[in-house]
Amino acid sequence: MLALSSRLMGSAVVAAFAPVVGRDATITGGSVGGLRFANCIAPVVVERVYDVNGPAGIGVSIDNCAAVHLRRSVFTGGVGIEAQFTDLVVSECVAIGSAGAAAVVANSRCESLRTFYTGWSQPGVRLQQSVARFANDGSSSIGVAGATAPVAAIEAIDCQLQLDPATLGLLPANGAPGLSRIGGTHFVDDVPTLTTSLAAPGTTATAVLTSNTPRLGVIVFGGLLPTPFPFGTASIYVDLAPSPIVVALGFTDANGLSVPAVVPTSAALRGAIWCLQGGVQAANGQPLLSGPGLWIAL
């Protein structure tokens, strides 16, 4: 495991064959930007990182990675987040593009949860040939700043999208639509929101599954799959072998279905990663999955 911490000056480039976990770092980018992950076959987790770059740099660049989880972090640059050929999860982050889109995702699968995206004269999120899902409980937004012409909040070309524009807080510029789509498909679904706390040894970790529409929900717990398994527009992130544990079952709404867990006080747990994932029963009776939530013992 490689850990990123403290203050880093210049660019950090990582190619990993073992899990990478970074937390509590401030990064001042170099000539190409702040963080770059390439050809990582093991999961990458970035937690509580403040990644600041100028308009010529990229906050975080991700290329050809099995799974990258960006959590509770800030990414700024000409483009805040850039990803291709990757399974990307962006959870409770802030992404700012000071010279373009806040996030540019191509040829990837993407889960976004309660994240603020702000592009400068360009869309907050630009997607191409990707599968993308957006979950929000009203606590974040996707927007455009500095535009003099109409600019959509989300631009998608040949993508499969699952999102409910009514819950995303879309802020387009100058009368543009919230979502501009060319080709592809758009499933108007209220994707459930799963949030998780930290899980340091000796503390109580929590997970909360919320849905803007009251319905039956479940939360399962297990290991983190190195490579997520596609399940329609969603992906399965919990390792199904051995069988995952059902830790909560009941009706969920805006108040949430929650589960607490006491993490034992043991130094041996440091660096452990556990995965949770929720699901609700959609109107058609089919399961509608949340994105993943992680408990990380750091």
Q: Provide the pLDDT for residue 185.
A: 98
* Residue 206: domain span: 193-296
Residue 224 shares a structural domain with residue 138: no
Determine the average pLDDT of the residues in 276-294: 92
Q: What is the CATH number of the domain that holds 55?
A: 2.160.20.10
Q: What's the pTM value of the predicted model, to 2 decimals?
A: 0.92
- What is the amino acid identity at position 49? V
Residue 176 shares a structural domain with residue 199: no
Residue 24 shares a structural domain with residue 128: yes
Residue 134 shares a structural domain with residue 226: no
The H or E element containing residue 138 is none
Question: Which one of 187, 222, 257 terminates a domain?
Answer: 187
What confidence tier does 23 reach under pLDDT thresholds 50, 70, 90? low
Question: Which one of 187, 221, 246 terminates a domain?
Answer: 187
Burial 114-147 (b: 16+ CB within 10 A, else e): bbbbbbbbbbbbbbbbbbbbbbbbeebbbbbbeb
7/27 Cα distance (integer angstroms): 6
pLDDT-wise least confident of 45-49, 70-74, 86-90, 105-109: 45-49
User: Any idea which residue has 């758009």 for tokens?
Assistant: 186
18/33 Cα distance (integer angstroms): 24
| Cβ–Cβ < 8 Å for 59, 68 | no
| Cβ–Cβ < 8 Å for 29, 11 | yes
Determine the average pLDDT of the residues in 122-148: 96
Residue 209 shares a structural domain with residue 288: yes
What separation in angstroms does the CA of 90 have from each of 112, 146, 205, 275? 5, 24, 20, 15
The answer to whether residue 9 scores a pLDDT higher than 90 is no
